[in-house]
Amino acid sequence: MFKDDLTAAATATQDRLVQAMAEMGNLPVVQGMRYAVAGGKGLRGYLVIEGARLHGIPVAESVTAAAAIEAVHAYSLVHDDLPCMDDDDLRRGQPTVHKKWDDGTAVLVGDALQTLAFELVSQASDKAEVNVALVTSLAKASGAQGMVLGQAQDIAAETATTPLTLDQIIELQGNKTGALIEWSGVAGAMLAQADTAPLRAYAQALGLAFQIADDILDVEGDAAAVGKAVGKDADAGKATFVSLLGLDAAKTRAAELVDQACDALAPYGEEGVSLKQAARFVVERRK
């Protein structure tokens, strides 16, 4: 059920992004935008669409918000891959944007995807107050109180004389990775003007499990399967969930977080089964 739902959500989201970029021309920056949003699992867009479905909102009325978060996510990856950041050559098994084009184009691609995201999310609902709430919360989740803050904390950690503690890593990853996953989780409830608490608890647990799984993949994953370089954290001497907890304990913690995420879905009964499967997928994925 989940994999079919994920595929359907990714297809709908991609179609919405293609539609949004249809009249932008074909300059390298636009080519790079289309390239950057292609492929990937589309997990964040799925969370928006599935959360909305739980509240009776059809895909046609949630896909614009889903496209917005995927645009933000793609922008963050394009910038994260730059030489001044993580300096990666591969993303989703393909050359990163700055490798396929150049650094300047990659910066502009990220900038343009970010602004496209806010154009989209401002049109996500036919209710102005909902759009304002979505825009405001996405700005917070993606900016200097969320994802950008986490990136800055990550950069600072690379040159710190003392490795981060477990609590500091949880805070860093809660910003860098978790903030956008949390927004994705609650956006559907926001579209319905419903209580966001159950989906927020679910998404917070899911986001941390996702990052622990990423740290595990950096140790155990195969670069060809993962689609990007692995082993970089250990080579850089970075403190991670695996380095602090150990591999087995990190896997145990991720499994506990999956259970916690699933428990948060109790108010939705059997309707929450796809999201429960999504939580298990996050820690079982090999890429």
Spatial contact of 32 and 132, defined as CB atoms under 8 Å apart: no
DSSP H helices, 143-196, are: 147-159, 166-173, 179-191
Q: Is 58 helix (H, G, I), strand (E, B) or coil?
A: coil
Tens-digit pLDDT profile for residues 102-149:
999 999 999 999 999 999 999 999 999 999 999 999 999 999 999 999
pTM of the model as a whole = 0.94
pLDDT of residue 287: 65
User: Residue length, the chain?
Assistant: 287
Task: Check pLDDT > 90 for residue 41.
Answer: yes
Q: Would you tell me the crossing angle of helices 147-159 and 166-173 to the nearest 10 degrees?
A: 140
Tens-digit pLDDT profile for residues 207-241:
999 999 999 998 886 665 555 555 566 556 678 89
pLDDT band at 259; cut points 50, 70, 90? very high
Where along the chain do its domains lie? 2-284
Block residue for tokens 């396929």: 100
* CA-closest candidate to residue 138, choices 154, 153, 117, 152: 117
The CATH number of 2-284, from 3.40.720.10, 1.10.600.10, 3.40.30.10, 3.40.228.10, is: 1.10.600.10
Block residue for tokens 């995201």: 117
Q: How many CA atoms lie within 13 A of 269 on its CB side?
A: 1
Q: Is 127 helix (H, G, I), strand (E, B) or coil?
A: coil
Residue 118 exposed, middle or buried by CB count within 10 Å (0-12, 13-18, 19+): middle
Cα–Cα dist 212/240, whole Å: 8
Q: Is 90 helix (H, G, I), strand (E, B) or coil?
A: strand
Tens-digit pLDDT profile for residues 188-209:
999 999 999 999 999 999 999 9
| Cα torsion angle, 132, 134, 136, 139, sign | negative
